[in-house]
Amino acid sequence: MMSDGTRLGNRALTLGIIVLGLATAVLAYALLSRSQSPRPSANRVYNPNGLLGDIIQVEVRNGCGVTGLASRMSGHLRSFGFDVVEFGDHTSFDVEKTRVIDRIGNMDAAKQVALALGMPNMNIEQEVRADYFLDVSVIIGRDYENLKPFKVYQ
């Protein structure tokens, strides 16, 4: 006959195994779902102006006025290998929707940045500026909470 202490120990062990199994299942699902998502590439495919380097160069501007957004987004883009050459405030804080802007006529570079941010390609604009020595500008708008660097995963 088993004592109450032994039964309690067996139940605790069974509960521990169940919790560990569930945690393993969640981690496996997260790994599989991440591996099937397309991953952005920070490498330039096209370099029309002969810019130095093979890495897509990006500037990030805060267009909504919430402190720290440009820095946080810069860190996110750098984690994917993009060269964030500058970040800071935009000329105004009244930007409603976040914009990804192709600056050199290389829409592929802008698409890779948009992919890293979780934005659809329809939010990409083209404003080629020969005086900009970078590939893509990102202007953060008031919709920033919908972007990957700012989503709270639950």
Residue 73 scores a pLDDT above 50: yes
Cα gap 43→79, rounded to integer Å: 13
Complete DSSP assignment for 98-134: -EEEESSS-HHHHHHHHHHHT--GGGEEE---TT--S
- Enter the pTM of the model: 0.69
Residue-level pLDDT at 93: 95
The three-state secondary structure class of 96 is coil
Sign of the CA dihedral 103, 53, 34, 37?
A: positive
Each domain of the chain, given as residue ranges in start order, spans 1-37, 57-150
Cα of first residue to Cα of last residue in the chain, in angstroms, is 45
Model confidence at 34, pLDDT cuts 50, 70, 90, reads: low
Range of weakest confidence among 2-11, 42-51, 93-102, 113-122 = 42-51
Q: Which fold has domain 57-150?
A: Alpha-Beta Plaits (3.30.70)
Mean pLDDT of 68-73: 95
Residue 90 scores a pLDDT above 90: yes
